[in-house]
């Protein structure tokens, strides 16, 4: 090994290391135990030196560990991670166990073969990992609950609109007919006003039905995903006059209710976005489901968006983020491909029957 004359002696470096370093001989007796090892294992060096390495290992791992070290001593390899990815366990003098990572290296001298073990106490890292996992799970549960509440609320509003306002409008039409029958036959101006009112009620009825269907299309529940998407598409075409080619192949098995609602909401948001942002003249929708998998693409030939500008907008908008969130909850993926003046392509792929907590009442 090359080194400059001004480098400090190696033992000083080992002494001041912040991670435990332990050297053992061929009999697995500890011959060197640095201060960091004293702090982690709670043994003084003079207690540890001369003892077997196994005092630092929980009893249940001792046999396998001894074999492991022994095998290593005979392989001649100079550096090797121990534990094969899974954390190893250390044992402090007070009986406490802790997770650690270790690597091991071998030195052959005239006095024999020595193994040095470089350790890292990963208790804190594992604690943080667990806390992170727990808070991610918590967030997923929260999103689930939110989606559930939103869908329920939409269903509720749709029903209220239909049942409550719908009833009132029907009653109003009947009242109007009665009023009309009591009108003198020769009063044309009054009859015309009644006709106007009837037309207005009809228009209000149509808007009400449209709003209720947008909130929660009954056909999604009654006729299934393909019919519901065809309905969305024909509404889109008649509202905005944009040429739309929809290829829908659901196959024999209807995807699960959450998947169907999610795909429906994705198409709904994608079409709304096209109407709002794209200035497109052509839209192509492809949806295909097998028994296990659904994939959906909505592509337009509109103005598109620069990826950097889209990345800036996404955290502030609800539409595409909402899609991402819904699809992620069902273990699916969302892919957006767009460039300025090159259209917008939204791809969603997800399992057809994900085994997940229900966020929508069956
Ligand atoms: N088809 C599209 N063509 C061009 N730009 C699009 C298209 N779809 C989305 N965008 C861009 O992506 C941005 C984010 O879309 P997103 O649906 O998340 O939000 P939004 O439509 O602006 O608001 P909302 O929260 O009401 O949906 C849009 O503001 C728009 O700039
Ligand atoms: Mg949007």
Q: Is the CB of 305 under 6 A from ligand 1?
A: yes
Instruction: Let me know whether 225 and 361 are in one domain.
Output: yes
**Ligand of minimum distance to the alpha carbon of 343:** 1
Instruction: Let me know whether 104 and 164 are in one domain.
Output: no
Domain assignment of residue 2, yes or no = no
Q: Is the CB of 266 under 6 A from ligand 1?
A: no
**Ligand of minimum distance to the alpha carbon of 271:** 1
Domain assignment of residue 1, yes or no = no
- List per-residue pLDDT tens for the chain, 362 residues long: 555 567 677 788 888 888 999 999 988 999 999 999 999 999 999 999 999 999 999 999 888 877 777 777 777 554 445 554 456 899 999 999 999 988 888 888 888 889 899 998 898 988 999 999 999 888 888 888 888 888 788 877 877 787 778 888 888 888 898 888 888 888 889 999 999 999 999 989 888 887 877 777 667 877 889 999 998 899 899 989 999 999 999 988 889 988 998 999 899 999 989 999 999 999 999 999 998 999 999 999 999 999 999 999 888 777 898 888 889 889 999 999 999 999 999 999 999 988 765 444 43
3-state SS track over the chain: CCCCCCCCCHHHHHHHCCCCEEEECCCCEEEEECHHHHHHHCCCHHHHCCCEHHHHCCHHHHHHHHHHHHHHHHHCCCEEEECCCCCEEEECCCCCEEEEEEEEEEEEECCEEEEEEEEEECHHHHHHHHHHHHHHHHHHHHHHHHHHHHHHHHHHHHHHHHHHHHHHHHHHHHHHHHHHHCCCCCCHHHHHHHHHHHHHHHHHHHHHHHHHHHHCCHHHHHCCHHHHHHHHHHHHHHHHCCEEEEEEECCCCCCCHHHHHHHHHHHHHHHHHHHHHHCCCEEEEEEEECCCEEEEEEEECCCCCCHHHHHHHHHHCCHHHHHHHHHHHCCCEEEEEECCCCCEEEEEEEECCCCCCCCCCC
Q: Please name the residue that has the structure tokens 């693409």.
A: 297
Q: Is the CB of 276 under 6 A from ligand 1?
A: yes
Mutate to test the pocket of ligand 1, among 307, 314, 319 (most ligand atoms within 8 A of CB): 319
Q: Is the CB of 316 under 6 A from ligand 1?
A: no
Q: What is the CATH number of the domain that holds 335?
A: 3.30.565.10
Instruction: Let me know whether 46 and 176 are in one domain.
Output: no
The residue among 195, 216, 237 that closes a domain is 216
Q: Is the CB of 317 under 6 A from ligand 1?
A: yes
Instruction: Let me know whether 21 and 117 are in one domain.
Output: yes
Instruction: Let me know whether 80 and 165 are in one domain.
Output: no
Q: How far apart are CA 276 and CA 274, in angstroms?
A: 5
The residue among 121, 144, 167 that closes a domain is 121
- Terminal C-alpha separation, the chain: 70
Range of the domain at 63: 10-121
Domain assignment of residue 3, yes or no = no
Instruction: Let me know whether 83 and 162 are in one domain.
Output: no
Domain assignment of residue 291, yes or no = yes
Burial of residue 126 (number of CB atoms within 10 Å: 0-12, 13-18, 19+): middle
Instruction: Let me know whether 277 and 160 are in one domain.
Output: no
Domain assignment of residue 4, yes or no = no
Supply φ then ψ for residue 340, to 5 degrees: -60, 130
Q: Which residues pair with 24 in a beta bridge?
A: 30, 115
What pLDDT shows up at residue 63? Answer: 84
Domain assignment of residue 150, yes or no = yes
Question: 312, 300, 309, 314: which is closest to 344 by C-alpha?
Answer: 300
Instruction: Let me know whether 336 and 224 are in one domain.
Output: yes
The residue among 216, 248, 268 that closes a domain is 216
Instruction: Let me know whether 111 and 140 are in one domain.
Output: no
Mutate to test the pocket of ligand 1, among 267, 270, 276 (most ligand atoms within 8 A of CB): 276
Domain assignment of residue 102, yes or no = yes
Instruction: Let me know whether 205 and 244 are in one domain.
Output: no
Q: Is the CB of 300 under 6 A from ligand 1?
A: yes
Q: Which atom of ligand 1 is nearest to the CA of 343?
A: 3
Q: How far apart are CA 96 and CA 71, in angstroms?
A: 28
> Could you tell me how far CA 268 lies from the centroid of its own chain?
21
Supply φ then ψ for residue 301, to 5 degrees: -110, 30
Q: How far apart are CA 191 and CA 150, in angstroms?
A: 45
What pLDDT shows up at residue 170? Answer: 83
Domain assignment of residue 101, yes or no = yes
Instruction: Let me know whether 241 and 158 are in one domain.
Output: no
Mutate to test the pocket of ligand 1, among 271, 277, 307 (most ligand atoms within 8 A of CB): 277
What pLDDT shows up at residue 361? Answer: 40
Query: How much distance in Å is there from the Cα of 320 to the middle of ligand 1?
Result: 7
What pLDDT shows up at residue 77? Answer: 54
Q: What is the CATH number of the domain that holds 79?
A: 3.30.450.20
Q: Is the CB of 336 under 6 A from ligand 1?
A: no
Largest CA distance in the chain: 127
**Ligand of minimum distance to the alpha carbon of 336:** 1
Counting the structural domains of the chain, the total is 3
Instruction: Let me know whether 85 and 198 are in one domain.
Output: no
């Amino acid at each position: 090994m090359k080194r400059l004359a001004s480098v400090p002696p190696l033992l000083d470096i080992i002494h001041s290391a912040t991670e435990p370093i332990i050297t053992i001989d061929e009999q697995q007796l500890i011959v060197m135990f640095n201060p960091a090892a004293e702090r982690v294992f709670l043994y003084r060096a003079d207690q540890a030196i001369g003892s077997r390495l196994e005092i630092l290992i929980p009893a249940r791992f001792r046999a396998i560990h001894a074999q492991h070290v022994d095998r290593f001593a005979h392989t001649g390899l100079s550096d090797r991670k121990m534990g094969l990815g899974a954390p190893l366990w250390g044992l402090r003098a007070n009986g406490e166990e802790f997770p650690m990572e270790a690597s091991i290296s071998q030195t052959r001298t005239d006095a024999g073969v020595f193994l040095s073990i470089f350790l890292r106490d990963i208790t804190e890292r594992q604690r943080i990992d667990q806390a992170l996992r727990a808070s991610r799970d918590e967030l997923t549960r929260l999103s689930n609950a939110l989606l559930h509440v939103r869908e329920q609320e939409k269903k509720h509003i749709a029903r209220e609109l239909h049942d409550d306002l719908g009833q009132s409008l029907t009653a109003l039409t009947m009242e109007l007919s009665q009023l009309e029958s009591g009108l003198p036959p020769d009063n044309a101006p009054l009859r015309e006003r009644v006709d106007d009112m009837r037309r207005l009620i009809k228009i209000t009825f149509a808007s009400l039905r449209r709003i209720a269907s947008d909130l929660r299309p009954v056909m999604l529940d009654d006729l299934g995903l393909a019919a519901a998407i065809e309905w969305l598409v024909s509404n889109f075409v008649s509202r905005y006059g944009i040429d739309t080619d929809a290829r829908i192949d659901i196959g024999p098995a209807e995807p699960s209710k959450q998947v169907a609602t999610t795909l429906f909401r994705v198409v709904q948001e994608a079409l709304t976005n096209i109407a709002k942002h794209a200035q497109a003249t052509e839209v192509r929708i492809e949806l295909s489901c097998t028994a296990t998998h659904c994939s959906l693409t909505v592509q337009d030939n509109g103005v598109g968006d620069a990826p950097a500008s889209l990345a800036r907008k996404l955290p502030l908008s609800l539409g595409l983020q909402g899609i991402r969130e819904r699809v992620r909850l069902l273990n699916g993926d969302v892919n957006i491909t767009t460039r300025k003046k090159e259209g917008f392509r939204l791809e969603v792929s997800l399992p057809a029957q994900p085994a997940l907590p229900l966020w929508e009442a069956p």
